[in-house]
Amino acid sequence: MQDQEMTAFRSAVIRLADIDFADKPRLLAALTQSLDRITRLQTEFWAGVDKPKASRRADLGAEYAREGSALQPLLEDISARLFASIRNSDAFVDQMLEIKQLAWLARDNAGEASLLISKGLAAGKVAPDAQRTYDTFNGGAIAAWAAIENAVYGMALPPSLAEAMATAKRVYFAPDYLALSREDAGGPDRRPEGGEHRG
């Protein structure tokens, strides 16, 4: 997955050089710098992954996480400006970009919900409001997904998009999986009919 993401990242930097959008010099420079830093951090990780932990840089993971967190809003900013630069040029392209924005919103919320659990597992505890925060992110992902399904209803989708949507629905948005995630998080499906605790 990392190889695919980095290939796409490098491709984006190259392609954006030939595309006009608002605030391009600043944003493209920031994206190029982010690519350089993330590439360097990945190289450092793979060079040291088989070495004793004591010989690895202690703050490498934290630096990588910070860089990844900073990259996300940068990509969102560039994406929004690209969308604005071509809006109303082609109805189909507009619709596809609208779907892409919704897909990013679904992915962002689902990722935040997952990250909340991962951080809790790593720390051995979660914040007191973790349940509410998880429900908010999970609900945001579900709402964005429902909007995507409404937007594509009746459309002849490109095969790659149709396949990606089928995979997302099967893996993350299937009703039985959503019910299980709510149950595991202590949500409204925690008790089955009859009221007995499934804990």
Average of pLDDT values for 59-76? 92
- pLDDT category at 188 given cuts 50, 70, 90 is very low
Between 31 and 157, name the one with better pLDDT.
31
Taking the C-alpha atoms of residue 45 and residue 60, their distance in angstroms, rounded to an integer, is 8
Helices (H), the chain: 2-16, 24-48, 60-86, 91-123, 130-152, 159-171, 175-184
Taking the C-alpha atoms of residue 65 and residue 115, their distance in angstroms, rounded to an integer, is 11
Average of pLDDT values for 164-188? 72
Cβ pair 38, 64 in contact under 8 A:
yes
Average of pLDDT values for 22-32? 96
Average of pLDDT values for 18-32? 95
What DSSP string runs through 52-64? -GGGS-TTHHHHH
Residue 187 has pLDDT above 80, yes or no: no
Residue 41 has pLDDT above 50, yes or no: yes
Q: Give φ, ψ of 191 to 5 degrees.
A: -110, 130
Q: pLDDT tens digits for 73-83?
A: 999 899 889 88
Cβ pair 148, 102 in contact under 8 A:
yes
Cβ pair 198, 192 in contact under 8 A:
yes
Q: pLDDT tens digits for 114-152?
A: 888 888 888 888 888 988 998 999 899 999 999 999 999
159 three-state secondary structure: helix
Q: What's the pLDDT at 96?
A: 85
User: Mean pLDDT over all residues of the chain?
Assistant: 85
Q: What's the pLDDT at 131?
A: 87
- pLDDT category at 195 given cuts 50, 70, 90 is very low
Q: What's the pLDDT at 87?
A: 84
Taking the C-alpha atoms of residue 45 and residue 59, their distance in angstroms, rounded to an integer, is 11
Residue type, 111: G
Q: pLDDT tens digits for 90-109?
A: 888 888 888 888 998 998 89
Residue 51 has pLDDT above 60, yes or no: yes
Q: What's the pLDDT at 191?
A: 34
Q: What's the pLDDT at 11?
A: 96
Helix axes 130-152, 175-184, angle to 10 degrees: 170
Give whole-number Cα distances, 181 to 113, 173, 198, in Å.
11, 10, 14
Taking the C-alpha atoms of residue 110 and residue 155, their distance in angstroms, rounded to an integer, is 25
Name the residue with tokens 């420079």: 29
Residues in the chain: 199
Q: Give φ, ψ of 17 to 5 degrees.
A: -60, -25
Between 181 and 111, name the one with better pLDDT.
111
185 three-state secondary structure: coil
